[in-house]
Amino acid sequence: MRSKLKTLAVALPALMAALSTAAAADPGITDKTIKIGMFAPLSGPNAAYGFDVANAAKMYYDKINKDGGINGRRIEYILEDDRCDANDLVAAVKKLVEQDQVFLLNGGSCSAATVAAKDFVVRNKIPLIMLNASGDGALYPPTDYIFGAFSISQYAVGGAMINFAEKTFGVKRLAYVNHDDAYGAWNLTGAKVDAAADKVDLAVESVSPTITDVTAPFLRLRASNPDALLIVTYARPAALLIKKAREMGFDKPIILSVTGTANLKQLAENVGGKGALKNLYIQDVLADAPGGPKIKWVYDMYKAAYPELAKEPDHPQTYMPYGVPSAEAIVRALKAAGPEPTREKFLAAMKQEDFDTHVMAGPVKFGPEERAANKSTVFMKYDGSSLQMLPGVYTTRWTYKN
Amino acid sequence: MTLSLFILFLEQGVASGLVMGSVYALLALAIVIIFKTSEAPNFAQGDMMMGAAYVALYLLVFRKAPPIVAIPLTIVVAFVVAALFRGLVLAKVAKSSGSPVNLVIATLGFSYVLRGLVRGAGVGDTPRTFPPLASTDSIMIDQASVTILDLVIFGAAILTMAGFFWMFAYTKLGRAMRAVGMNPKAAQLVGVNIGRIHMLVWGLSGVISAIAALLISPKILMTADMGSIVTLGFAAAIIGGFNSLPGAVVGGFVIGVSENLVGLFISSRAIVVAPFVAIMLVLIVRPQGLFGGRTSIKKV
């Protein structure tokens, strides 16, 4: 009897301790698995921004699982379609957190929609590691829970484009077209800082993403007699502007941001052929031209993971490699969080990250007050059929001031 | 702003505005002819245009059909689909409830079906170019630069509108349509087949949408959402007067020109609000629209 009591006295505190650990443990993590909630635009007009990006992240997680997982745990992912719509995205996030009980979120390809999840994520203290959205609105001011801009921050895009135009063409006056929304405003803020630093005059036209007739903004910009035209819009307005430039005999350099390059082959068709692309430069964030030797491993991995999809036209989609860096960052932080990871340990590890993804032009680098992963960008010349990488890596002089 | 820049903006704004305005006018015309005969606005008008554009794209690009085959075939498809929707769906909705609200909901449903079909076909998400039916080389009209395609769009839209006005004014069919619009019961008493006329009106509205699609698609790039341009057709119809055919045409040109002038002289940001400011001003000064008849109050 006494020995039974003794055993009970030893076992009870141990059991209680175990139970209390279990009760305190974060959702979505067991001895065998880590559950990650993913969301991206898998359908609808913005699927080009996320469908294959999500596939890239998935194939990276699959590779990690194949190699033995993270500290013995397999990654389980649940992927939801957010259609780049703020309502759909927030609904997907709530479902993943409340119903699926995920450990962390890895999603978001469109900035405005992704920023809409900020309040819910911060209130519930869920780690949100964006997929490829810039999401500047959720990164500045920094919170403990949201990390993004694995493709690039929009502040950095705006500034880097000015920087490139000034260094490459010695411009003094620039025409600049952005969107008349938050996305365009972040971009323009960075552009203004670098334009001031480089003493470049900026003529700005902000247009609706749904604009159908670009005659007015184009004429207003041409009237400022610019040395080059910078376009920081989505694919459709960008194509309309390039086409209008050709129609109106504008022969100065045109520099197009990466958001307008969702399908380069289609862009060449949409602008009316190669004639409109004689002086076109595109901004990109990859370490090499798509399919180039430095990032060939990503394309090879995609072909191995999705052999049927890879045979389909327009696959892999242009932005496919952008899905890898956020997955790499998550895996590294989970490893760094040790054999008993918690959300707190994971977030602490995320803040320490500083590594080369071997995919993007610049490293992933966070810090105590920095939640935007990448601020480096490269430029290529596109003539309608081939891409020629230009030397140099560009960034912005814009910095966040609290 | 210098005088020469002012003149350039003015000339270009009017020229580009007339081109886009002619397409808005076509859409407004299609909206008004349905509204006049059924007293329910057709909220599927934009997606009828979008659907016709994708039919033409399929024939011209994917099937490599010559324009002389693809264009008439697109117009026939648009006519048949629109007429059948009226004959098979709207007629039943009207019979079962008689409320215009139900008709409106049915047109919204039609709109979603068309968009779903295009998206489901896997061609509606990427912005696509539509083969232009004329050269896109520019020519100068004084200081304004327009393309040959622009001139074709303007000319074809004017000819289409003139053809429809002639039909409404001088043919037996047109007179029957007008009679149904004015007093359907009286028209029925004198032997007009109301159901057939409704189907024909919808079919013709489909034809106008198809022509608008063929004209505008090379300029705006195609997506499954391109039908949203119909908002400007509605704006044109409101400005001109929802029951006036000439009003719809004038409204279209007012919207097209005001969009461009506001964009050029005020700000690109103001382009999207220009049509709604124009609507507001017209509604304040003349609630029935520029060419609308007297406002009437229905007792319920």
pLDDT interval class at B191 (50, 70, 90):
confident
Count chain A–chain B contacts defined by CB atoms under 8 A: 101
> What does the pLDDT read at residue B73?
97
> What does the pLDDT read at residue A22?
44
Q: Given a cut of 80, is residue A155 above it in pLDDT?
A: yes
Could you tell me the residue ranges of all domains in chain B?
A: 3-285
Q: Given a cut of 50, is residue B300 above it in pLDDT?
A: no
CA distance B202 to chain A (A): 27
> What does the pLDDT read at residue B297?
53
Q: Taking CB atoms and an 8 Å limit, are B145 and A43 in contact across chains?
A: no
Q: Pick from A358, A128, A151: which is nearest to A262 by CA?
A: A151
Determine the Cα–Cα distance for residues B251 and B281; give it in Å rounded to an integer: 13
> What does the pLDDT read at residue B132?
84
Q: Taking CB atoms and an 8 Å limit, are B147 and A247 in contact across chains?
A: yes
The DSSP output letter for A275 is G
% of chain B surpassing 90 pLDDT: 57
pLDDT interval class at B243 (50, 70, 90):
confident
Q: Taking CB atoms and an 8 Å limit, are A212 and B220 in contact across chains?
A: yes
Q: What is the pTM of this model?
A: 0.85
pLDDT interval class at A341 (50, 70, 90):
very high
% of chain B surpassing 70 pLDDT: 97
Contact A150, A374 (CB under 8 A): yes
> What does the pLDDT read at residue A20?
44
Could you tell me the residue ranges of all domains in chain A?
A: 33-152+291-371, 154-284+380-389
Phi, psi of B8 (to 5 degrees): -60, -50
Phi, psi of A271 (to 5 degrees): -90, 0
Q: Taking CB atoms and an 8 Å limit, are B119 and A44 in contact across chains?
A: yes
> What does the pLDDT read at residue A23?
43
> What does the pLDDT read at residue A242?
96
Q: Taking CB atoms and an 8 Å limit, are A269 and B147 in contact across chains?
A: no
Reported as a single tens digit per residue, the pLDDT across B111-153 is: 999 999 998 887 777 788 888 888 888 888 988 989 999 999 9
| Average pLDDT value over all residues in chain B | 90
- Selecting from A213, A236, A266 the residue whose C-beta is nearest the C-beta of B259 gives A213
pLDDT interval class at A2 (50, 70, 90):
low
State in words which class domain B3-285 has. Answer: mainly alpha
pLDDT interval class at B241 (50, 70, 90):
confident
Interchain contact A223–B (C-beta under 8 A): yes
Q: Given a cut of 70, is residue A13 above it in pLDDT?
A: no
Interchain contact B254–A (C-beta under 8 A): no
pLDDT interval class at B294 (50, 70, 90):
low
> What does the pLDDT read at residue B295?
58
Interchain contact B229–A (C-beta under 8 A): yes
SS3 of A314, please?
coil
> What does the pLDDT read at residue A21?
45
Contact B220, B226 (CB under 8 A): yes
Interchain contact B268–A (C-beta under 8 A): yes
Reported as a single tens digit per residue, the pLDDT across A99-125 is: 999 999 999 999 889 999 999 999 999
Q: Given a cut of 60, is residue B222 above it in pLDDT?
A: yes
- Which chain B residues are closer than 8 Å to A205 by Cβ? 268
Q: Rounded mean pLDDT of A336-349? A: 95
Q: Given a cut of 90, is residue B97 above it in pLDDT?
A: no
% of chain A surpassing 70 pLDDT: 94
A 48-87 → B contacts, CB under 8 A: 48
Interchain contact B135–A (C-beta under 8 A): no
Q: Taking CB atoms and an 8 Å limit, are A44 and B9 in contact across chains?
A: no
How remote is the C-alpha of B183 from its chain's centroid? 25
> What does the pLDDT read at residue B298?
52
Q: Given a cut of 90, is residue B221 above it in pLDDT?
A: no
| Average pLDDT value over all residues in chain A | 91
Q: Given a cut of 50, is residue A184 above it in pLDDT?
A: yes
Interchain contact A235–B (C-beta under 8 A): yes
CA distance B109 to chain A (A): 18
CATH number, domain A33-152+291-371, options 1.10.1740.10, 3.40.920.10, 1.20.1630.10, 3.40.50.2300: 3.40.50.2300
CA distance A222 to chain B (A): 11
Q: Given a cut of 60, is residue A5 above it in pLDDT?
A: no
Determine which of A216-220, A292-296, B18-22, B272-276 has the lowest per-residue pLDDT on average: B272-276
A154-284+380-389: CATH superfamily: Response regulator (3.40.50.2300)
Q: Say which residue, B122 or B276, is predicted with more confidence.
A: B276
Contacts with B55 (C-beta within 8 Å, 6 or more apart), sequence order: B73, B74, B77, B78, B210
- Which chain A residues are closer than 8 Å to B258 by Cβ? none
Residue B224, amino acid: A
Reported as a single tens digit per residue, the pLDDT across A238-249 is: 999 999 999 888
Interchain contact B147–A (C-beta under 8 A): yes
Reported as a single tens digit per residue, the pLDDT across A185-236 is: 999 999 999 999 999 999 999 999 889 889 999 999 999 999 999 999 988 8
Q: Given a cut of 70, is residue A324 above it in pLDDT?
A: yes
Determine the Cα–Cα distance for residues A274 and A261; give it in Å rounded to an integer: 15
- Selecting from B136, B221, B223 the residue whose C-beta is nearest the C-beta of A247 gives B136
Domains A33-152+291-371 and A154-284+380-389 belong to one CATH topology: yes
